[in-house]
Amino acid sequence: MKPDKSFGPSVSDVGHLESAAGVAGLIKAALVLKRGVIPKHLHFQNPNPSLDWDRLPLQVTSSMMDLPHRPGRPRLAGVNSFGISGTNAHIVLEEYRAPDGTSVGSGKSVTISLPATIGDLPLPEQEVQPRQTRLLPLSGKSDGALRDLGRRYLRT
């Protein structure tokens, strides 16, 4: 596949987007999966000589390149978002594969439809049971602060 020059800017050239950085990365990752092309890092020229690049299982894209195929498996893309307030998030996207094995970027159209309103949605046939287990991620500046926060949640 020949890289499409109209792909657009890489994430490295949109600058600091504050709270929009994560969604910009998500959009770019979705475009990479759809088009099958990884954009180059705009300002990358010289890799850090302190790293043994030949032994690392990664590559910094210094030019546009095809997204490698994974025979029999969908391709994946990861997005990291590190917020200035200390918020860190990571999402993994998986390329869409139609039942016949084609991807969205292959030129095959995919038809979707959504209900006009929530009133158009069918009601569940049986009463939904509450979950027995829930996940509540917590963080604190210290072990003590984290324990105090956990105790406050347990009291409620």
Q: Residue 44's domain is classified under what CATH number?
A: 3.40.47.10
Alpha-carbon distance of 98 to 74, in angstroms, equals 11
Domain membership flag for residue 82: yes
Domain membership flag for residue 122: no
Domain membership flag for residue 9: yes
> The whole model's pTM is what?
0.54
Q: How many structural domains comprise the chain?
A: 1
Domain membership flag for residue 86: yes
Domain membership flag for residue 142: no
Helix (H, G, I), strand (E, B) or coil at 15: coil
Domain housing 77: 1-110
Helix (H, G, I), strand (E, B) or coil at 14: coil
Cα dihedral sign for 121, 124, 128, 133? negative
Domain membership flag for residue 145: no
Domain membership flag for residue 34: yes
pLDDT, tens digit only, all 156 positions of the chain: 444 444 444 456 566 677 777 788 888 889 999 888 998 888 888 889 999 989 998 888 888 999 988 888 889 998 887 766 777 778 899 988 777 766 655 555 667 777 677 777 777 777 777 778 878 889 889 999 999 999 998 887
